[in-house]
Chains A and B, each alone.
Chain A
Amino acid sequence: MDIVAQHLLNGLMQGTMYGLVAMGFTLFFGVMDVIKFSHGDVLTFGAFAALVAALLAQSGGMGVWVQILAMFAAAVVATALIGTEIARFFVLPLRHSPTLNILLLTMMLGTVIRECLRLFYPNGGNPQRFPALLPAGGINFGRAFVRYDGLILLAVGLALIALVHWVITRTRFGLAVRAVAEDEETARMMGMNFRRVVRLTFALGSATAGVAGVMYGLYYSEINYGMGVLLAIIGFSAAIVGGLGNLWGAIIGGYLFAGLQTLAVALAPAATEYKTFFAFLVVIVVITWRPTGLLAEARSERV
């Protein structure tokens, strides 16, 4: 039973990170019908921005909690800015061109971001040690071990999911996002600033990736320039399997993917190398069965 609880906790932590990445994909698709494939690299950029902020705060003799705040602030600001600019200079001008063009363009942008980190960050090709600022240690529940930092990060992740959901469903900005997602022309006729809504949505989606990047660094104590690639593929798959364009779908997809990976290890400990293979295989089956995802767009509100 203890081992089940431990796997459940591991899966929850991973699922939250995947869900945060998937939320970004779903927001971009919901508003603009685009797939921004640089999303994983934006996450990595956020993690590196946070690392720089932490090192600066550390050298300035700031306290631990100030350093943590500086990290999250730097990641959110850096990723929101880069997200806005991607929308302004690449997505909006190309919005009438085939979707494939934007997908390819953002994929190339992601490569540029990744290579810039590798080439211009000092020793950027090497894994970077991320400051372990959260309380170390944990509590034993039977043989299950709950890490304090894991608990804190899980709470942060869940709070962010709730916050994004609240912004989208309960605020005027969220109303504008949903209006644009439903019908761009009508939203414009109602006096909404379409370009502004798109830019802010990209800022919001990218900032969630930034937070996920910091969570990743704090949880694993290490970041590297290529970490966003697989996270983006998993996040995108999670968004698809949940129902691309649907916020809840992205979250469910994230937890489902993490759950499948964990299940594979729990059921076949001798074949752990197949866990990602197994998860993707199930995702393929689910997509074949329900091409519009588990929470199909037709039955639910977009974004």
Chain B
Amino acid sequence: MTGSRVMLSDASFAPSDRAAPVLEEVEAVAEGGRITVVVGANAAGKTTLLRTVAGLRPARAGRVSIELDGAAYDPWRMPARVRAGRIAMLTQRVGLPAGFGVAESVEMGRHARPHRPERILEAMDRLALDPLRDRAVETLSVGQQQRVGLARVIAQHEPGGILLLDEPFAPLDLRETARAAGVLREAARRGGVVIATVHDLGLAARFGDDVWLLDGGRLVASGPAGKVLNRSRLELLFGPEAMALAGLDDPREGPSRIDGSSGPT
């Protein structure tokens, strides 16, 4: 699969049919091979944007499309099983029904895909879930449950497809954040479009190649992380106290990137 892409053309997004749009006139492109981080305050419309790209909601106006192998699709109009083979999404609250083991829960991600046990084992291995494979999911910590949710979408995700993640790192400790970031980076390296919402600005700066910055119902900036995440713009959005609290004089400064690469270029 080559040339994957997500395109938003003058698109408006609403969380439900009756609700007013939370985001309007969005023009943006997320390219395959790169990680796009969506940043914005609470209720800025990040989740609604991801749900619409995932085909779980129609765009209120404009156009949302995904490009795979040169063909363009409207995610909302794709049959559920077909869509599941192109787009995988990690929701903000990972659903793990009680009574299932870790391996069974990861296997659910392959429901609409050809049965390939090696994909399930690989996903579990990469999220370090092997030692927990027979544990009942309701007995896991929140961070471990998040890793199960991540492994499920990784098992579902086909190389070169679209991977959408709503707050993937929120409950993870630093070691697991680095591990998960590495897995997502690998998905991008294989040509996938990776779009993730991230609240931690430092993390967003170090993890993302590109950033979409949302504010006031608009996409206020998009482009390479180094250009979008500058101090003055973020201070305007979140306030000076938040900058100090996050220790972000310049979000791009600091240690090497968390996926192990040498740093921003």
Bind each other = no
Binding site for B on A (CB under 8 A): none
Binding site for A on B (CB under 8 A): none
